[in-house]
Protein backbone atom coordinates (compact mmCIF):
# COMPACT_ATOMS: atom_id res chain seq x y z
CA UNK A 1 0.00 0.00 0.00
CA UNK A 2 1.43 3.33 -0.94
CA UNK A 3 0.33 6.81 -0.13
CA UNK A 4 -0.08 9.09 2.80
CA UNK A 5 -2.43 6.83 4.77
CA UNK A 6 0.16 4.07 4.89
CA UNK A 7 2.86 6.53 5.89
CA UNK A 8 0.69 7.96 8.68
CA UNK A 9 0.06 4.44 9.97
CA UNK A 10 3.77 3.62 9.96
CA UNK A 11 4.56 6.83 11.82
CA UNK A 12 1.78 6.19 14.34
CA UNK A 13 3.18 2.75 15.12
CA UNK A 14 6.66 4.19 15.52
CA UNK A 15 5.32 6.81 17.92
CA UNK A 16 3.53 4.12 19.89
CA UNK A 17 6.66 2.03 20.26
CA UNK A 18 8.67 5.14 21.18
CA UNK A 19 6.10 6.01 23.85
CA UNK A 20 6.37 2.50 25.27
CA UNK A 21 10.16 2.86 25.30
CA UNK A 22 9.99 6.12 27.24
CA UNK A 23 7.53 4.60 29.72
CA UNK A 24 9.86 1.64 30.32
CA UNK A 25 12.80 3.96 30.96
CA UNK A 26 10.71 5.93 33.45
CA UNK A 27 9.64 2.70 35.16
CA UNK A 28 13.26 1.63 35.51
CA UNK A 29 14.31 4.92 37.10
CA UNK A 30 13.35 3.94 40.69
CA UNK A 31 15.53 0.86 40.43
CA UNK A 32 18.59 3.06 39.96
CA UNK A 33 17.82 5.69 42.60
CA UNK A 34 17.97 3.86 45.89
CA UNK A 35 17.23 0.49 47.35
CA UNK A 36 15.94 -1.99 44.80
CA UNK A 37 13.16 -4.19 46.11
CA UNK A 38 12.19 -7.55 44.68
CA UNK A 39 8.82 -6.10 43.63
CA UNK A 40 10.61 -3.40 41.59
CA UNK A 41 12.54 -6.05 39.69
CA UNK A 42 9.38 -8.03 38.94
CA UNK A 43 7.53 -4.93 37.74
CA UNK A 44 10.44 -3.85 35.57
CA UNK A 45 10.70 -7.35 34.07
CA UNK A 46 6.97 -7.38 33.29
CA UNK A 47 7.08 -3.94 31.69
CA UNK A 48 10.15 -4.94 29.66
CA UNK A 49 8.23 -7.96 28.39
CA UNK A 50 5.31 -5.68 27.48
CA UNK A 51 7.73 -3.43 25.61
CA UNK A 52 9.09 -6.36 23.62
CA UNK A 53 5.57 -7.49 22.71
CA UNK A 54 4.54 -3.96 21.67
CA UNK A 55 7.71 -3.58 19.60
CA UNK A 56 7.07 -6.86 17.80
CA UNK A 57 3.44 -5.93 17.11
CA UNK A 58 4.43 -2.49 15.84
CA UNK A 59 7.14 -3.88 13.59
CA UNK A 60 4.77 -6.47 12.12
CA UNK A 61 2.18 -3.81 11.40
CA UNK A 62 4.76 -1.53 9.79
CA UNK A 63 5.93 -4.39 7.57
CA UNK A 64 2.31 -5.25 6.70
CA UNK A 65 1.79 -1.71 5.45
CA UNK A 66 4.30 -2.37 2.65
CA UNK A 67 1.85 -4.80 1.02
CA UNK A 68 -0.40 -3.59 -1.77
CA UNK A 69 -3.52 -4.40 0.22
CA UNK A 70 -2.60 -4.77 3.90
CA UNK A 71 -4.91 -6.91 5.95
CA UNK A 72 -6.90 -5.24 8.68
CA UNK A 73 -5.67 -5.80 12.19
CA UNK A 74 -7.40 -8.77 13.74
CA UNK A 75 -9.68 -7.93 16.67
CA UNK A 76 -7.75 -10.38 18.81
CA UNK A 77 -4.52 -8.47 18.15
CA UNK A 78 -6.18 -5.14 18.85
CA UNK A 79 -7.53 -6.44 22.17
CA UNK A 80 -4.11 -7.83 23.06
CA UNK A 81 -2.46 -4.46 22.40
CA UNK A 82 -5.11 -2.68 24.44
CA UNK A 83 -4.39 -5.15 27.22
CA UNK A 84 -0.68 -4.34 26.97
CA UNK A 85 -1.43 -0.66 27.46
CA UNK A 86 -3.63 -1.41 30.47
CA UNK A 87 -0.96 -3.65 32.00
CA UNK A 88 1.60 -0.90 31.49
CA UNK A 89 -0.69 1.54 33.31
CA UNK A 90 -1.17 -0.92 36.19
CA UNK A 91 2.59 -1.44 36.42
CA UNK A 92 3.05 2.33 36.57
CA UNK A 93 0.55 2.59 39.41
CA UNK A 94 2.22 -0.29 41.23
CA UNK A 95 5.61 1.40 41.08
CA UNK A 96 4.13 4.74 42.12
CA UNK A 97 2.42 3.43 45.23
CA UNK A 98 5.00 0.87 46.38
pLDDT at residue number 2: 61
Structure confidence at residue 72 as a pLDDT band (50, 70, 90): confident
Number of structural domains the chain divides into: 1
Q: What average pLDDT score do residues 42-59 get?
A: 81
Backbone angles phi, psi at 62, to 5 degrees: -65, -45
Query: What are the start-end ranges of the H helices in the chain?
Result: 4-28, 38-64, 75-97
- Given this model, what pLDDT does residue 79 score? 87
pLDDT higher than 60, residue 1: no
- Res 52 pLDDT > 80: yes
Structural domain including 79 reads 4-97
Q: How many CB atoms lie within 10 A of CB 87?
A: 15
Residue among 68, 88, 79 at smallest CA distance from 25:
88
Amino acid sequence: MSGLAAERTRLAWRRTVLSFSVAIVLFCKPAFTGVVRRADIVIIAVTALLWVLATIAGHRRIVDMDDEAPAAMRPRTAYALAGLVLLLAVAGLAITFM
